Structure 1
Amino acid sequence: MKGLSKAHAREVEENRHYIKTIAEVLLLTAKNKIAQREHRCNSDDLNHGNVREILYLIAKKDRIVEKKLNGPRNARYLHPSIQNELLAVMASLVREEIADSLKDSPFSILADETKDRSKAEQLSVVVRYFYDQAVHERFLKFYKADSLDAASLTDYIFDVLSSLGIDKNECVGQAYDGAAVMSGRINGVQARIQRKVPTALYVHCMNHRLNLAVVDTVKNVAEAAEFFAKLEKLYVFSSTSVVHSVFERVQKEMSTKPVIKLKQLSDTRWTCQYAACKAVLQTLEPLLETLKLLSDGKNTERRIEANSILNFIDFNFLLSLVLFENILKRTQTLSNMLQAKDLDLASAVFLVRTVIEELEQVRNGDSTPTGSVQSSAIEKVWVDAINLCIKCGIETPDSGGDKPPRKRRDCRPPLKLRDSLIMETVGQRTQLCKKEDFIQHFVYVVLDNIISELKSRFSRDSLVVMEGIQALNPKADCFLNFQKLTSMAKFYGCNLEYLETELKQALVTLKRKEESEGINVNTVLEFTNFLQPYAVPFFELYRLCKIACVLPVSSASCERSFSALKLIKSYLRTTMTEERLSDLATLAIEFRLANKINMDQVIDRFASMHKNSRINLY
């Protein structure tokens, strides 16, 4: 009996080691977003899929794995259904850890939808919460959206939360991309959620707002729209195989720097206009040389198109290129900062206002005694464009800017309007050959449009709740001002009497700590961590600080999950089920949590699902 007991224990240990090895290989492939098996996998195939091939490699060094792989076919535990079960167990452990971190803690919902490779609509659900002195944005799962109306999307979001045991009443914020079905004030998703959870404050994704401000500016200014249309034509022409190969060869001959590819424009990608401008600016000389080579080539269509592009790359084009590269560089920095997961709403609003002030400073410059405006930044744009033209051999206006523009034919009104009084423009446009015309009719118009769009789209941040968030920012003049915090405290159901007392005590405590220990608190998150040891006496204030930290800034985490979706559900993996897709996505996106999975716990949970298994795991 004693020998049998030892033999059974040894067998269980070997079996658990074997299943653990399979689970670790599955986790490895899931984290790296690679396929677990081939599309068609037969026993006589040379390639058995990544999981099997890795196990065969391990078997060369591991006697136990080799023994099990050569055992009975129904005891190898490599069937796709077994793999799916192990992936589901590991993904559920990751989601449970996220749900445990959310217990009795305020959180925000981030959601967005996209089409996958099989043309199915996938809703990505992410939660933002405060835990362990940090702000986290965690991916929960993909949910197949059979309907895209507001009522259905709302139900999908609540289904995801309830499936993980997350209390929806703890939701304090929600952020979406601004589509009508999501942001509608009456029957949009945000309105429906707020009717069920009144404290779920809606925040329009700041990155989407910034991108819309840039896109609308381009559409509203005729010269800017023409410039970006030319930029897009340049990209399309250079992306063809023949032109691209010539372009790469010329870059290598003219420079030792890495080859740079021109970037495509898009209305939906955040501030991609800056990347396109920067790429052309960095490769202007090789680009012009490529166009000249192609304009002398034998291919008629390519020669005509190269000549047409060479004709529009003139002083005005380079002037617009330098201007937009300079302006969009400032918004690009803001866009990158807004995508940070730990950025709080107060800091985001401050960053936006800083960029607006910076653009206004460029626009206004320093007023001279005569009342004219002379901006050093605008002056630098003009000088840089002149120098760039000289470097590339492009004709420029003379130094005084007095060169008269080429005479154009008179623009006559149509016959039906000749007896009418015309009150608006008939299509004539000022030629930008003089510095004054360039500044007056182009630079100021572009800057005014960007500034007005930014102010308009970010004007909602002046709401009373936002004022309360600003009052929790240690760098704000109204820091811990009770009057500023009152509206926010009422919105989230705080006890005002307790809060007023806590504010006075918190100011005294913070001042003493700064004097005695040299503590320096600069952000809402740092102030929240400062209050954590005093969470009980400063209950209301600490809760408001956590809410201020978790209120969403952007839905960038949803966009990042779409990048993983494209790699996981590729063209060769479009037949996978929704459950497998969500499990793989959870393990791939939340790989840091997946690395902490206890494999013994995975084996125990898997064994409970197979009580009549072919191999003993107990």
Structure 2
Amino acid sequence: MTKKKFTETETSDNWKKALVIFGKHEMAQTHKDSVVTWKSYQGTSKQGNVAQMIATANVSEIVERREYLRRIVAVTSMLGRQGLPFRGHDEGEDSPNRGNFLACMELLKEFDPFLQKHNPPSNAQYISPTSQNDMIDCCAQEVTSVIVSEMTKSKVYSIMVDEARDKKAEQLAVCVRYVSEGAVKERFLALAEIKSFDAQSIANEIQQQIQNYGLAELKCVAQTYDGAAVMSGSTGGVQAHFRRLHPEAIYVHCYAHQLNLVLCNTCKAVPEAVELFSLLECVYSFFSTSLINHHKFMETQAKLGLTKTELVQLSNTRWACQLRSISAVLETLPAILECLSAIGSPIAVGLRAKLYKFSAVYALLMFQSILSVTEGLHKFLQKETLDLAEAFICKQAVCDTLKGKHSDAFATELYEKTKALCNTHSIPEPGAKTRHKQRKMEDFVLEATVGSRTELNNSDTLKRELLFPCVDRMVGELDQRFCSVDAGLLKGVQACSPKSENFLSEPHLNELAKHYRLDLKKEEVLVARNFLTQKTEAGCPPKNMLSVYNLLDSDMFPSLKATIQVALTVPVSSCSCERSFSALRRLHSWLRQTMGQKRLHSLAVMSIEKDTLQHLSHNRVIDRFATLKNRRHSLMLPPTK
């Protein structure tokens, strides 16, 4: 062993003294410093340097904050989906009712070990009213971004708009329709308050919403509104102003509104129908406004062994209520007549006298039969996935069914049914002889009634004066009103449906494609016919327009599939807007009148598009919340390498 300096004070070449020398070296400060340095090096190699250790600690804190925010997002999403209020009147710590949001957080904390251990600083609890509003906005924006992303991939869309009074403001609901992932979707886009009610202002507001969501570059193929003049005017209405910006956007008058107008105009044109529905409204008011009369009505039903049934109020906008009202009166007719007799007031006597007529029972049974034919169409037209071709087919089927009721056979059947019901309730059948009133104004042209009317006293008179006029008027209204779409374009849409007689008719498809500036290839249509024929022979025929769209490959039939996509995108009704107003009434109740427009819009998006909200990634919402504004504490994870 060569002689080397082992310590700063001593060298040795005698191994007999090595242990003593090692002991002295171990006690030296230099050795201690070296050991500390070595241990630090070992720790650094395992845990990283100081900067790395600080970064690691920061990431763990961010992960913990995001885990805490996941609970807040979950509570916000649940309350938004259910349309429940967030805030309480008094949110102080001593308040017995701090509001649904804070109550849900407290309930979670009772069962969640993470929340029990997590103790955030006072400036990072994210449960203040401002933070609640920010989280609501982030959830709504993420839902809308999903919708806009799907629309961007689809490239074409239709717009549906309706307006309604909300307290002291006029709200404009904007919905869109498009095809995405092999399905037709109708989505709620925006709720905007409008200050001016003229057509130009409404059209400008619609265009502003389109631009706000970055949809200006997409093709709008159709616009659907109700029949209000300011919306449907062909020269100065909203549809005219909107078409100046979107020339391809055809106007579709909401078919559900059309059907409602058909029934309204039919009943207004027949005096006996006006009297009948006025009588039904009076009977409803008589038993509903007075609790005493209502209790007697319920007791009479129980005494007669009838199923307890409430009378239904009539509605000018929802004609399904008319059918339900007629059915309720027919089901409880014995109780109504007996109850009116027992009450005996002048109003009760008058109502009973009007109901206790053969013609009144005949009219009830007649409208029950007629409205039952249109009831299915009412529900069918409200489907989101319904296409224009199928709606037209079903409308025509209803027309044909109503035409079948314009027959002596149905008139005889209806008369016999009325006769049997009247015999059950001892209502006398009208006699053949009638008392003729003097007609002083018979040779004059009149603009108002003089009180003279044909008495409905036999089968022929009822058929001629009541049944046939109602059926004829309804059929005529159906044929006249359901024609807002250009006939050529309608045939083009029908050519995309396998249920149509002109399915894949090249001239009709060309007309549709030409309007929307699509270059339809003739060869694709020919190949598609053979392809779908083979599918039909193999036992897999396309059932509807959407199934045809899904069967056609986008690489093999690009232009034909684009044409069918346009036909699917054209909406039938604006019922999605009506549904949004139903949600608005639940959200903007009298207890929440101080809510601002931005918050109302966000809550409406969350409530209406609850399915999209439920499947939303919490991390995406948290990322948007983190970047919404500068935060005291970081909430964004560093990018992974």
Q: TM-score, normalised by structure 1?
A: 0.90
2:260 to 208, 211, 226: 211
1:523 to 524, 531, 544: 544
Deviation by residue 1:248-286 (Cα, 9 ceiling, x = unmatched): 3333443463x3222222222244322221221222222
Q: Aligned partners of 1:207 and 1:52: how far apart in 2?
A: 42
Return the offset for 1:243.
1.9
What is the match of residue 68 of structure 2? 18
Return the offset for 1:483.
1.9
Return the offset for 1:195.
1.3
What is the match of residue 92 of structure 2? 42
What is the match of residue 392 of structure 1? 425
SS in 1 for 2:572: coil
Q: Aligned partners of 1:251 and 1:16: how far apart in 2?
A: 61
What is the match of residue 432 of structure 2? 403
What is the match of residue 278 of structure 1? 327
Q: Aligned partners of 2:371 and 2:635: how far apart in 1?
A: 63
What is the match of residue 299 of structure 1? none
Return the offset for 1:500.
1.9
Unaligned runs of 5+ in 2: 1-49
SS in 1 for 2:313: coil
What is the match of residue 249 of structure 1? 299
Return the offset for 1:547.
0.8
What is the match of residue 512 of structure 2? 488
Q: Aligned partners of 1:253 and 1:28: how far apart in 2?
A: 46
1:109 to 159, 162, 165: 159
Q: Aligned partners of 2:513 and 2:55: how far apart in 1?
A: 65
What is the match of residue 315 of structure 1? 358
Q: Aligned partners of 1:508 and 1:13: how far apart in 2?
A: 58
CA RMSD of aligned residues (A): 2.1
On the 8 A contact 2:361/2:418 being kept in 1, the answer is yes
Cα distance change on mapping 1:181 and 1:549 into 2, 3 Å: same
Q: Aligned partners of 2:64 and 2:533: how far apart in 1?
A: 61
1:477 to 495, 501, 517: 501
Return the offset for 1:426.
4.3
2:380 to 311, 315, 337: 337
Deviation by residue 1:86-126 (Cα, 9 ceiling, x = unmatched): 1111111111111111115221100000112x321110000
Amino acid at match of 2:372: K
1:444 partnered with 2:468: yes
On the 8 A contact 2:532/2:541 being kept in 1, the answer is no
On the 8 A contact 2:188/2:605 being kept in 1, the answer is yes
Deviation by residue 1:393-435 (Cα, 9 ceiling, x = unmatched): 32224xxxx5323x3553444xxxxxx9425674421111101
Q: Aligned partners of 2:560 and 2:333: how far apart in 1?
A: 56
Amino acid at match of 1:309: L
What is the match of residue 326 of structure 1? 369
Amino acid at match of 2:460: E
Q: Aligned partners of 1:205 and 1:612: how far apart in 2?
A: 48
Cα distance change on mapping 1:76 and 1:189 into 2, 3 Å: same
Cα distance change on mapping 1:280 and 1:613 into 2, 3 Å: farther
Q: Aligned partners of 1:503 and 1:244: how far apart in 2?
A: 65
1:147 partnered with 2:196: yes
Deviation by residue 1:49-108 (Cα, 9 ceiling, x = unmatched): 01111111111112332455x755433221111111111111111111111111152211
User: 1:191-210 alignment to 2 at 5 Å?
Assistant: 191-210=240-259
On the 8 A contact 1:214/1:271 being kept in 2, the answer is no
Amino acid at match of 1:155: N
Return the offset for 1:307.
1.3
What is the match of residue 227 of structure 1? 276
Stretch deviating more after TM superposition (171-180 or 96-105) = 96-105
Stretch deviating more after TM superposition (420-429 or 351-360) = 420-429
Return the offset for 1:36.
0.8
Amino acid at match of 2:471: L
Return the offset for 1:168.
5.5
User: 1:206-605 alignment to 2 at 5 Å?
Assistant: 206-240=255-289, 241-255=291-305, 257=307, 259-295=308-344, 303-313=345-355, 314-363=357-406, 365=407, 374-375=408-409, 377-397=410-430, 403-405=432-434, 407=435, 409-413=437-441, 421-423=443-445, 426-461=450-485, 463-495=487-519, 498-515=520-537, 517-531=538-552, 534-605=553-624
Unaligned runs of 5+ in 1: 296-302, 366-373, 414-419
Cα distance change on mapping 1:172 and 1:461 into 2, 3 Å: closer
Q: Aligned partners of 2:305 and 2:123: how far apart in 1?
A: 61
Return the offset for 1:386.
1.5
On the 8 A contact 1:169/1:197 being kept in 2, the answer is no
Return the offset for 1:132.
1.1
Return the offset for 1:324.
0.4
Q: Aligned partners of 1:263 and 1:211: how far apart in 2?
A: 18
Return the offset for 1:228.
0.9
Stretch deviating more after TM superposition (26-35 or 522-531) = 522-531
Stretch deviating more after TM superposition (354-363 or 235-244) = 235-244
Deviation by residue 1:479-517 (Cα, 9 ceiling, x = unmatched): 11112223222211122xx522211111112222333x4
Q: Aligned partners of 2:483 and 2:619: how far apart in 1?
A: 53
Return the offset for 1:459.
3.3
SS in 1 for 2:190: strand
Q: TM-score, normalised by structure 2?
A: 0.87
On the 8 A contact 1:334/1:352 being kept in 2, the answer is yes
Cα distance change on mapping 1:85 and 1:390 into 2, 3 Å: same
Q: Aligned partners of 1:253 and 1:547: how far apart in 2?
A: 60
1:187 to 233, 236, 245: 236
Cα distance change on mapping 1:10 and 1:120 into 2, 3 Å: same
Amino acid at match of 1:488: L
Q: Aligned partners of 1:319 and 1:278: how far apart in 2?
A: 13
SS in 1 for 2:540: coil
SS in 2 for 1:60: helix
1:612 partnered with 2:631: yes
Q: Aligned partners of 2:530 and 2:585: how far apart in 1?
A: 53
Return the offset for 1:610.
4.5
Deviation by residue 1:283-306 (Cα, 9 ceiling, x = unmatched): 2222223222322xxxxxxx2211
SS in 2 for 1:477: coil
Amino acid at match of 1:474: P
SS in 2 for 1:140: strand
SS in 1 for 2:188: strand
On the 8 A contact 2:251/2:485 being kept in 1, the answer is no
Amino acid at match of 1:329: S
On the 8 A contact 2:140/2:605 being kept in 1, the answer is yes
Amino acid at match of 1:391: T
What is the match of residue 79 of structure 2? 29
On the 8 A contact 1:15/1:617 being kept in 2, the answer is no
Deviation by residue 1:151-202 (Cα, 9 ceiling, x = unmatched): 1111111111211111354100111001111111111111111111111010
What is the match of residue 129 of structure 1? 178
SS in 2 for 1:459: coil
On the 8 A contact 1:568/1:585 being kept in 2, the answer is yes
Deviation by residue 1:306-336 (Cα, 9 ceiling, x = unmatched): 1111111021111111100100111111111
Stretch deviating more after TM superposition (247-256 or 348-357) = 247-256
On the 8 A contact 2:306/2:332 being kept in 1, the answer is no
Cα distance change on mapping 1:15 and 1:256 into 2, 3 Å: farther
Return the offset for 1:362.
1.2
Q: Aligned partners of 2:420 and 2:546: how far apart in 1?
A: 47
